[in-house]
């Protein structure tokens, strides 16, 4: 996707001889759209590509905004006007969508400076909490320095800040634990008195009532 092969995958450790080209990827994989509600859609590569993750399409204010980006490129998708990120681990094929659709790419300034972003171009970097076409963005640090989560209507987009498992919930261990937990408490405060119905994570979409029970238990373990 970015014009070079790393020696090993920074996520799973696969050697460079196991990598395929972006063209081969697009020939083997497609992006499947699954509705979350009338305005939010989940996007996933099919079949699952590597450590597969979800991105989410939001139709708002006459624009199409993606929160994070699918890992494979599919030119049949409706063109995104904006692709905004929770953090730099979920860049996916954003540079290919940027080139093909002239999408506007944005990420937190601290994550844009990470070495993993080498080969990607960002049209905009941000630093503070803000509103984007009706989508609320909050920077909480933790898992990555620039980690940002989003609210749209009654949906929370939390990506992989926490992992939801059959035996409960855990914070993402890849990052400073104390800062990640502090960010979790900040998120919890922002959830107070807010009408949330659905939580969209990196590999799940769940009812908020179930998610918040697990999150409260997690916060109580500190």
* Mean pLDDT value across residues 80-91: 97
Instruction: Summarize pLDDT for 179-219 with one digit per residue, the tens.
Output: 999 999 999 999 999 999 999 999 999 999 999 999 999 99
If one counts every other C-beta atom within 10 angstroms of the C-beta of residue 67, the result is 28
Instruction: Summarize pLDDT for 123-149 with one digit per residue, the tens.
Output: 999 999 999 999 999 999 999 999 999
pLDDT band at 6 (very low <50, low <70, confident <90, very high): confident
What is the CATH topology of the domain spanning 16-220?
Metallo-beta-lactamase; Chain A (3.60.15)
- Helices vs. strands in the chain: H and E counts, helices first: 5, 15
Closest-CA residue to 75 (of 37, 103, 38): 103
Q: Say how far apart CA 101 and CA 111 lie, in whole Å.
A: 23
Question: DSSP character for 204?
Answer: -
- One DSSP character per residue, 144-193 reads STT-EEEEETTEEEEETSEEEETTEEEE-SSS-HHHHHHHHHHHHHHHTT
- Look at residue 1 in the predicted model and tell me its pLDDT: 65
Going from N- to C-terminal start, the domains of the chain cover: 16-220
Average pLDDT score, the chain: 95
Q: Are 54 and 82 in contact (CB under 8 A)?
A: no
Q: Say how far apart CA 26 and CA 88 lie, in whole Å.
A: 22
Of residues 184 and 6, more confidence is placed in: 184
Q: Say how far apart CA 200 and CA 166 lie, in whole Å.
A: 17
Say which residues have a Cβ less than 8 Å from residue 102's Cβ, sequence separation at least 6.
none
Q: What is the largest CA-CA distance in the chain?
A: 51
Instruction: Summarize pLDDT for 143-163 with one digit per residue, the tens.
Output: 999 999 999 999 999 999 999
Say which residues have a Cβ less than 8 Å from residue 29's Cβ, sequence separation at least 6.
45, 46, 47, 49, 72, 74
The rounded Cα 101 to chain-centroid distance in angstroms is 19
Q: Say how far apart CA 62 and CA 41 lie, in whole Å.
A: 16
Q: Which residue has the tokens 């209507």?
A: 153
- Look at residue 20 in the predicted model and tell me its pLDDT: 87
Q: Are 140 and 148 in contact (CB under 8 A)?
A: yes
Q: Which residue has the tokens 């029970």?
A: 213
């Amino acid at each position: 996707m970015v014009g070079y092969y790393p020696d090993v995958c920074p996520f799973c450790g696969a050697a460079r001889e196991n990598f395929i080209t972006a063209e081969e990827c697009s020939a083997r994989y497609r992006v499947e759209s699954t509705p979350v509600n009338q305005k939010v859609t989940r996007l996933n590569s099919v079949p699952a590509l590597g450590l597969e993750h979800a991105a989410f399409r939001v139709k708002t204010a006459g624009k199409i905004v993606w929160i994070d980006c699918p890992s494979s490129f599919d030119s049949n998708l409706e063109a995104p006007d904006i692709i905004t990120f929770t953090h730099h681990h979920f860049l996916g094929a954003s540079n290919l969508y940027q080139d093909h659709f002239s999408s506007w790419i944005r990420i937190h300034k601290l994550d844009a400076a990470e070495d993993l972003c080498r080969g990607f171009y960002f049209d905009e970097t941000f630093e503070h909490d803000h509103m984007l076409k009706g989508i609320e963005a909050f920077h909480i640090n933790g898992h990555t320095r620039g980690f940002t989560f989003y609210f749209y209507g009654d949906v929370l987009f939390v990506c992989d800040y926490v992992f939801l498992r059959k035996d409960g919930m855990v914070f993402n261990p890849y990052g400073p634990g104390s800062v990640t937990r502090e960010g979790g408490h900040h998120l919890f405060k922002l959830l107070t008195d807010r009408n949330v119905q659905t939580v969209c994570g990196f590999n799940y979409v769940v009812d908020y009532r179930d998610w918040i029970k697990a999150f409260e238990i997690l916060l109580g373990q500190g």
